[in-house]
Amino acid sequence: MASAAASAVSTPAGPQPLSGVKLLAAAFALALANFVVVLDSTIANVSVPHIAGGLAVSPTQGTWVITSYAVADAISVPLTGWLAARFGTVRWFIVSIVGFGIFSFLCGISRTLDALILFRVLQGLAGGPLMPLSQILLLRIFPKEKAGVGLAIWSMTTTTAPILGPILGGLISDNWSWPWIFFINLPVVAVCAFGVGSMLGAFETKKAKMRIDIVGLILLVLSVGSFQVMLDTGREHDWFGSAWIVMLAIVAAISFAAFLIWELTDANPVVNVRVFRFRGFSFATVAISLGFGAFFSQVVLTPLWLQQVAGYTATETGFIVAWIGCFAVLFSPLAAGLLTKIDVRITVCAGILWMALMSILRARWNTDVDYWSLALPHLLQGMGMPFFFVGLTALALSSVPAKDQTSAAGLMSFLRTLSGAIGTAIATTAWDDASRVSRAELVPALNGAAETMDKMQNAGLTTEQARAALDRIVDVQASTLGVLHIFLAAGTVFVIAAAAVWLIPRPKTISMGASH
């Protein structure tokens, strides 16, 4: 894709950046598009029981509504560079957002599980390229000296959407009906398509006629699809104790190795993996993958612990985790403004270490913790997030030539999505294991169990009810100890990511693809 991508993505006599109201409107449309696509990766998570009941299937079958979208999204994201080169950046953005809206509508009117899964796959394929395309276009519409602001806007929509997804999904499913988690996309799609189509035509890139790398595409679908299904179904199949999971792992490993070899030797690869030859991009990608894996595992586990163990409702949980967006929004302009003033590696490292500190603060929770002790780590974590996401993205894109930045953005989005899935799978499995170990240690150490049973029976409970209540108390404490171990492990991963930042060469300039 090298030569073709060069002609498609670079703009030698590029358009002038936008300004004033037009800049604000275009930035809003692009950020909103990115937000709604990322939102849909988690909005169905808490709606699975409603969907399963509405379609008369089991909750386990209903989880394929989540898996199908994740697989399709992960497959389409790294294809962004090739699609932008073949059809034009703005043109493919509009095709993607319109397709996303159409398939969202079809998901909402589906009345069988097979139809819903089919349209979720198509929705994911259509929406995946919107993440990197919105990033690149945001960088281009801002004046060069304010490109960091565009990057900050994109980063914040990427990080806050997965958090708000389950909250919004729960509220809609409880108060309306599950199809509305898809129907709410339609007015958003209309605004985004109109805004981009009417204001960003001048930022279109040249098209290059390129053959389709069929072999690379098949290997990509096979490797990513099997790996994502392995992650999503491994827990319920006891991981590598299952022949099914082992088979998926083997298929993923062999097809991925073949994919890498093919893409490195093909003249026009469907995914330009050659950008990893730039050391800055490679280590920036390692750092953001480690950091996002740790971050997203906390995003998933915290609501699960609050609702399943601590007894909070979905709405109450939402009011706790939503605090993460406050300082994240306020500190984004500061993170963007510092990009060109000091060594960006310093601010990135500081941001990641701050997030590690918040993991340690979470590890002090217990079952009797008050609201503000729960909310404070979320509120404070937002201070570090912009420096982590904005700075690392800037480091990565500044490490590759302008002609390769669309491909680089697509690969970064893909690996970030994949690391989130891996982090979630590891964290949820490790939580189960840590909870079992903690329970095994707690049971022999119980003091006064017989006296507690007597008190509960004297209060009117039967022997079975008292035993169940005591068993529940032990389970709650064991699960809490288990999740605290995961928070500490996430903090360790953050520290490793912070160390990886210093393996990135300091770029001479922070360009971020904002060439005009």
Q: Put residue 311 in one of left, alpha, beta given phi > 0 → left and psi -120 to 50 → alpha.
A: left
pLDDT confidence of residue 44 = 78
pLDDT confidence of residue 498 = 96
End-to-end CA distance of the chain: 22
pLDDT confidence of residue 445 = 64
Q: Please state the pTM of the whole predicted model.
A: 0.77
pLDDT confidence of residue 357 = 96
- In CATH, the architecture of 1-212 is Up-down Bundle (1.20)
3-state secondary structure 207-256: CCCCCCCHHHHHHHHHHHHHHHHHHHHCCCCCHHHCHHHHHHHHHHHHHH
How far is 312 from 333, CA to CA, in rounded Å?
A: 34
How far is 183 from 123, CA to CA, in rounded Å?
A: 13
Tens-binned pLDDT, residue by residue, of the chain (516 aa): 333 333 333 334 467 788 788 888 888 899 999 899 888 877 877 677 778 888 887 766 676 787 778 778 878 888 888 888 888 889 999 999 999 999 999 999 999 988 998 999 899 999 989 988 988 888 888 887 777 777 778 877 877 787 778 778 878 877 888 899 999 999 999 999 999 988 888 888 887 777 778 898 899 889 988 887 888 778 778 888 889 999 999 999 999 999 999 988 887 787 888 889 999 999 999 999 999 999 988 877 887 788 778 888 766 777 787 788 778 778 878 887 888 888 889 999 999 999 999 999 999 898 888 889 999 998 999 899 889 988 888 888 888 887 788 788 878 878 887 888 788 778 888 888 888 888 887 777 666 666 776 677 777 777 777 777 777 788 888 889 989 999 999 999 999 999 999 999 988 777 655 444
- Give the phi and the psi of residue 212 in degrees, each rounded to 5: -85, 125
Number of CB atoms found within 10 A of residue 461's CB: 15
pLDDT confidence of residue 283 = 94
How far is 210 from 172, CA to CA, in rounded Å?
A: 44
How far is 336 from 151, CA to CA, in rounded Å?
A: 8
Q: Classify residue 448 as exposed, middle or buried by CB count within 10 Å of its CB (0-12, 13-18, 19+).
A: exposed
- Domain 275-516 class? mainly alpha
CA atoms within 13 A of residue 261's CA, in its CB half-sphere: 6
pLDDT confidence of residue 340 = 80
Contact 384, 354 (CB under 8 A): yes
Number of CB atoms found within 10 A of residue 477's CB: 17
Give the containing element (helix H, strand E) for 402: none
